[in-house]
Amino acid sequence: MRIENIIEAILLYASEPIDEKKFIEFFGKKYNLKLKTKDIQTIIENLNHIYEITSRSFRVVRKKDGYYIKIKEDFAQDLKEFYKKVDKIELSKEALETLSIIIFEGPITKSRIDEIRGVNSERTLRNLLNLGYIKIVGKSQELGNPNLYYVSDKLLDILGYNSVDEIKDLLSSGDL
């Protein structure tokens, strides 16, 4: 049994990121191994090293909620052509404005978005939710417990970022 192969198989099969705790729990129950977070991190680093020296088209990356397999950017164009994906996201001025507010202020309520924009954002939020670009991440403690909106992992993946902080940093630096 090679732990690396099992972790790789789990990540290839997974539909969502897997954190160290899940791996530790699995190997503890199934194989009675006492792994630590650092052990999992080292295994992931070793997998990525193997992928790099064998020129694989993917690597394991970490998001806030765990590890997942991601195709390298070098292959993005080929994948888009193969699957005929649209090259760019076309959004209205209102949608871009709302997304910007959610990126910088989120998690945020609709009433706060409306206050910043000066107009009702209900339709725009509904469209962004339907597209999967934003998500509801909880309820505010404000009167009526309104929904809190935040950027979705789908949008981060489309844009090629791992976190909202990466987007904030890029926008703040003026490099965009």
**Residue 86 included in any domain:** no
Last-in-domain residue among 31, 49, 78: 78
**Strand runs labelled E in 26-131:** 58-63, 66-71
pLDDT of 108-118, one tens digit each?
A: 999 999 999 99
> Looking at 80-133, which runs of residues are DSSP E strands?
none
Contact 68, 61 (CB under 8 A): yes
Q: How confident is the model at residue 69 (pLDDT cuts 50, 70, 90)?
A: very high
CB-facing half-sphere around the CA of 8: CA atoms within 13 A: 15
Burial 20-48 (b: 16+ CB within 10 A, else e): beebbebbeeeeeeebeeebbeebbeebe
Q: 121 and 58 in one domain?
A: no
How much is the pLDDT for 98? 95
How many domains is the chain built from? Answer: 2
User: pLDDT digit string (tens) for 141-168?
Assistant: 999 999 999 999 888 888 878 888 888 8
- The CA-atom distances, in angstroms, between 87 and each of 50, 77, 103 are 31, 9, 22
Structural domain boundaries enclosing 112:
93-173
| Arithmetic mean of pLDDT over the chain | 89
What backbone phi and psi angles, to 5 degrees, belong to 34?
Answer: -105, 70
**pLDDT range class, residue 48, cuts 50, 70, 90:** very high
Looking at 48, 78, 108, the residue that finishes a domain is: 78
What pLDDT digit, counting tens, does each position of 90-105 carry?
788 999 999 999 999 9
Q: Specify whether 98 is located in the same domain as 162.
A: yes
Same domain, 62 and 108: no
CATH of the domain at 52: 1.10.10.10
Domain boundary, last residue among 49, 78, 107: 78
Phi-psi region of 66 (alpha: psi -120 to 50; beta: other; left: phi over 0): left
Give me 153's structure tokens: 């992992």
**Looking at the structure, do residues 64 and 100 belong to the same domain, yes or no?**
no
**Domain-located, residue 68:** yes
